[in-house]
Structure 1
Amino acid sequence: MTADYHAFGAFDGAFSRTKSLLWPFNLGIWLRLAVIAFFIGGFGGGGGSNYSFPDRGGRDMSSMPVPDFFGLAPTTFFLILAAVIVLALLFAYVGSVFQFVLVDCLTSGPVSLSRTFRERMGHGLSFFLFEILLAFVFIAVMVGFVVFGFVTGIFSGVSNVIALLVLIPVILLLALVVGVVLMLTVDFVVPVMIADRCGIVEGWRRVYGILRADLKNAAVYVVVKVILAIVAALIMGILGLIVLAIIGVPLFIVALLAGFFANGPSMIWALVLLIVIGILIALPFLLLLQVPFVTFFRFYSLDVLRRFSPAHDLLAEPEGDAAA
């Protein structure tokens, strides 16, 4: 009975294609897919400050406290901050382009970072702007909910703990909705944009029509994909800890030995150097660990999409074969 659902019927094809592509082991293919996995993994961050200006009435402005920008001059601090933001946005944009490049690598030719990168830059920009829009919607809804709570008096007279307990379910629900939208965009809208050579708005319109025609299969796919993602995250987490332990134990021993021969600033710099070395050694292995999962999930979503809509079948080979 489960085979009647696209989410279950696509397992065998995705697994066989992943195995065919990644085995026998080809270091070049694995490294290129690891680079793609690095970029499409996304990024996140945030921050803020609670600097309040004192009452200026009748006071000497020169006595106002100056924010501490980590010991940097304000101009230097904001230049560094602007550079970090620009680099983060550039990283996100490149990751958006690689969402399309990955599909090309798995469906239309050899695994290459540059073969279709230039061709997909326009699609990547559309996807990038869509991600920014989702982030703004998420923030706007949360701010709107908080403002609504204070205007209507819901949060008036309650402690911060109670207000937080009210906000947490709202945040989780909204994050789930945004996550599902982004997941469907990556899994279905991206390949539809490639197949139909359309923008993200038109791509979503077509995917919405495809999924609406079979809501039961669509709902089952979302549930199964979320469960698979959780299981995969747990497996990758365990494997990642094993890798970190293998790399970290020798470095920890070196750190202990360094502690006997160094002190003060020298020991601190030695520890920082060892941490940097550990990260540089571990990162390639952690990225290589992601390759089978990233490849399987993309083959899986493409197989499900072709079952929903044969007109958007980008998997030219039979289920047992994959592009090598």
Structure 2
Amino acid sequence: MTEYFAFSKIDSALDKTKAVLWPFNLGIWLRLALISLFAGGITAINPFQFTGGSSDMSDFNTVMPAMGGFPDLTVVLLIILALVILFLIFGYLSSVFQFIFVDCLRTKEFRIRQYFSERVGKGARLFGFDLAVSLILILLVAVAMIALIAGFMGAGGGAMNIMFFFTMMLAIIIIAIPVALLFMLTIDFVVPIMIAKDCGVIEGWKECWNVMKRGWLQVIIYIIMKFILSVVIMIIMVIIAVIAAIIIGVPFLLAFIATIGLSSGALLSPLAVILLIAYIIILIPVVLIISVPFVTYIRMYSLEVLGAMAPEYSMTDYPDEIIAATDHSEE
């Protein structure tokens, strides 16, 4: 009977995740929390998300002339440029940390600075590959959107426009799904192959393609199982994170209620803003630490499946006594 590694490696990935994370070591968990911030996996928390405050720009426009003033268009372009630069920096760091994550799980030595210096080149190659694929995706979506706009500007009636709209949305989804799978398989399989073979992304993908051709059914089942596991793990992690957020928030809420009385009923007093900032500063690292076992497990799972499909690329061949000691510690 054929063994499907997407099923058989669920338990072994759990055992090896426990071997990495237990006995509890705060330093290791903090390092993995930092890795999860950048490498992310299913729990990526993007620190570069910018949300606008008030839509009223009158105060901004009155302040800027006093500072020397910029034309409105220049300000917008500068903001866009700054966001693009931050996005590129974070994207590059994320690519490097994908290799650091595998290195840490492969060696069980969490030397982030050492691995970072060793993986800057491979990270740059991975980032360039991701950027090129992203640009192609943007171009394809742009073409679809232009066709959509052209369709709306046509002479067709309302029913035709609606049908055309849904057709274009379907086309965009059809384009996006293969690209999403490409990104996933690049991180899950190509990155470890690049480490094992000390090669670039293209050569890594060629070897990955050979591996997948030998076990295409294994890959299909893996994709389905990883999606299911990711959804289940995400739900569990979110529930735990919400509980932690509520527990941490109780003293801040009580302090906030007290500030309302001190500020004559004003909800947004300076003290309340300070409390909110302090709450966020405490909550973010807590959520990152909560994410550690979940991110580690899902990454270990992909490494285990790859190692079963192609033993020459196995990254998690830990000595049996290490796993046995971890299991024994729970008895």
Q: TM-score, normalised by structure 2?
A: 0.82
Is 1:271 aligned to 2:307, yes or no? no
Contact 2:96 2:122 in 1 (8 A): yes
Give the structure 2 partner of residue 13 of structure 1. Answer: 12
Contact 1:16 1:320 in 2 (8 A): no
Give the structure 2 partner of residue 63 of structure 1. Answer: none
1:124-273 matches, within 5 Å, as 124-151=123-150, 156-158=156-158, 165-263=166-264, 267-273=268-274
Q: Give, in whole Å, the separation in 2 of the partners of 1:123 and 1:114.
A: 15
Q: Give, in whole Å, the separation in 2 of the partners of 1:319 and 1:303.
A: 15
Segment drifting more, 284-293 vs 313-322: 313-322
Q: Give, in whole Å, the separation in 1 of the partners of 2:176 and 2:17.
A: 30
Letter in 2 for 1:244: A
Give the structure 2 partner of residue 52 of structure 1. Answer: none
Q: Give, in whole Å, the separation in 1 of the partners of 2:59 and 2:38.
A: 30
Q: Cα offset for 1:250?
A: 2.1
Letter in 2 for 1:317: Y
Q: Cα offset for 1:174?
A: 3.4
What is the CA deviation profile of residues 223-254 of structure 1, one whole-angstrom value per residue up to 9, with x for unaligned ones? 00011111111111111111111122222222
Q: Give, in whole Å, the separation in 2 of the partners of 1:191 and 1:171.
A: 30
Contact 1:69 1:77 in 2 (8 A): no
Contact 1:40 1:98 in 2 (8 A): yes
Letter in 2 for 1:179: A
Contact 2:100 2:119 in 1 (8 A): yes
Q: Give, in whole Å, the separation in 1 of the partners of 2:215 and 2:107.
A: 28
Aligned partner of residue 297 in structure 1, secondary structure: helix
Q: Cα offset for 1:39?
A: 1.0
Q: Give, in whole Å, the separation in 2 of the partners of 1:188 and 1:235.
A: 25
What is the CA deviation profile of residues 69-122 of structure 1, one whole-angstrom value per residue up to 9, with x for unaligned ones? 953434455444433332232122111101001111111251121121111001
Q: Cα offset for 1:215?
A: 1.1
Letter in 1 for 2:82: A
Shift in alpha-carbon separation, 1:282–1:167, aligned structure 2, 3 A? farther
- Which ranges of structure 2 fall in alignment gaps of 5 or more residues? 52-56, 65-69, 327-331
Aligned partner of residue 158 in structure 2, secondary structure: coil
- Which ranges of structure 1 fall in alignment gaps of 5 or more residues? 48-66
Aligned partner of residue 194 in structure 1, secondary structure: helix
Q: Give, in whole Å, the separation in 2 of the partners of 1:132 and 1:81.
A: 18
Q: Name the one with the larger helix percent.
A: 2
Give the structure 2 partner of residue 60 of structure 1. Answer: none
CA RMSD of aligned residues (A): 3.0
Q: TM-score, normalised by structure 1?
A: 0.83
Q: Give, in whole Å, the separation in 2 of the partners of 1:291 and 1:171.
A: 33
Q: Give, in whole Å, the separation in 1 of the partners of 2:76 and 2:265.
A: 28
Contact 2:260 2:266 in 1 (8 A): no
Give the structure 1 partner of residue 26 of structure 2. Answer: 27
Contact 2:6 2:221 in 1 (8 A): yes
Aligned partner of residue 317 in structure 1, secondary structure: coil
Shift in alpha-carbon separation, 1:167–1:248, aligned structure 2, 3 A? farther
Q: Give, in whole Å, the separation in 2 of the partners of 1:253 and 1:242.
A: 17
Larger RCO, structure (CA 8 Å, separation 6 or more): 1
Give the structure 1 partner of residue 315 of structure 2. Answer: 314
Q: Cα offset for 1:126?
A: 1.3
Letter in 2 for 1:260: G
Letter in 1 for 2:158: V
Contact 1:29 1:111 in 2 (8 A): yes
Contact 1:40 1:96 in 2 (8 A): yes
Contact 1:16 1:321 in 2 (8 A): no
Letter in 2 for 1:189: V
Q: Cα offset for 1:320?
A: 6.6
How many residues were matched structurally? 304
Q: Give, in whole Å, the separation in 2 of the partners of 1:152 and 1:78.
A: 31
Give the structure 2 partner of residue 89 of structure 1. Answer: 88
Q: Give, in whole Å, the separation in 2 of the partners of 1:293 and 1:216.
A: 26
